[in-house]
């Protein structure tokens, strides 16, 4: 069922709540691919009813040109979801979500001061705005987020605690193309040559994982940046090795935490992100 208004969505969800059925939410910005479908599949397995939201949220884009070129194809998305088992597709327009400007600000401490937050000012505040709106509207029992956006996942968990919500956040694995490139809606914006070279990012992350005992943290960071920048199609925006809980930079392999290698790379004009849990 396609729903485009908040009123209609609430009416449909009220019918479901009366029956005591569990609701899962998969928030997306559309341009769906198999990575999104893996989230839907997990949600369908866990819940009686699944809502997939499709909304390109303007408040999380600090670069207006990035917003304008973000891929949009609702008809293709709906076709992809036909046999997915999802119950409701919520695809509102911008005025439906933001009848007035959303001026709320969220304090995530240091979680949004690093990596994506440092390089995309205001991005996570915009993410928190739309996710909190969706959570308030849908009141999902569980919500599903991919591990590819690792920093976002940590911040969403913090948001749930801050707002004292009962929604369980379910992390789902990164889904990759056969050549290793993390699936992303942005991949379809790559030229043929850019697409051929983009898997080099994951290749180097894998190699980096084998270097953790041979190089210091700082040496490994420099090695990865230099390796990727040696590819003429790729330019590193940032590469950091961080604590999986507080997202702060790891300074030594002896640090007592799981260590995540997080990277953002420009492939031509398209910005791709990826991450890898280091052994």
In the set 33, 36, 119, 123, the catalytic residue is 36
Ramachandran angles phi, psi of 17, nearest 5°: -65, -35
- 36 catalytic per annotation: yes
- Give the closest residue to 139 by CA, choosing from 35, 3, 12: 12
CA dist 181 and 11 (Å) reads 40
Q: What own/partner pairs with CB < 8 Å and gap ≥ 24 does 209-214 have? A: 209/261, 209/276, 209/278, 209/279, 212/253, 212/278, 212/279, 213/253
Residue 186: DSSP 8-state: G
- Give catalytic residues, as residue numbers: 36
């Amino acid at each position: 069922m396609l729903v485009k208004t908040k009123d209609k969505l609430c009416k449909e969800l009220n019918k479901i709540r009366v029956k005591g059925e569990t609701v899962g939410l998969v928030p997306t910005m559309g341009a769906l691919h198999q990575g999104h479908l893996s989230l839907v599949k997990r949600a369908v397995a866990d819940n009686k009813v699944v809502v997939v939201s499709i909304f390109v949220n303007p408040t999380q884009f600090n670069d207006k040109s990035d917003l304008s070129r973000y891929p949009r194809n609702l008809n293709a998305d709906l076709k992809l979801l036909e046999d997915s088992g999802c119950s409701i597709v919520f695809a509102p327009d911008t005025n439906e979500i933001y009848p007035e400007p959303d001026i709320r600000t969220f304090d995530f401490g240091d979680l949004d001061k690093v990596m994506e937050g440092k390089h995309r000012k205001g991005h996570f505040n915009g993410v928190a705005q739309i996710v909190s709106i969706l959570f308030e509207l849908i009141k999902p029992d569980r919500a599903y987020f991919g591990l590819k956006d690792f920093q976002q996942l940590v911040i969403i968990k913090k948001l749930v605690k801050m707002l004292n919500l009962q929604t369980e956040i379910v992390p789902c694995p990164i889904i990759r193309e056969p050549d290793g490139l993390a699936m992303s809606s942005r991949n379809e914006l790559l030229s043929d040559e850019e697409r051929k070279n983009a898997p080099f990012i994951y290749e180097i992350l894998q190699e980096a994982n084998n270097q953790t005992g041979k190089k210091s943290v700082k040496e490994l960071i420099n090695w990865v940046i230099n390796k990727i920048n040696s590819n003429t199609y790729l330019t590193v925006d940032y590469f950091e090795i961080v604590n999986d809980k507080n997202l702060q930079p790891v300074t030594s392999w002896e640090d007592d935490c799981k260590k995540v290698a997080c990277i953002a790379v420009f492939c031509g004009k398209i910005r791709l992100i990826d991450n890898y849990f280091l052994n």
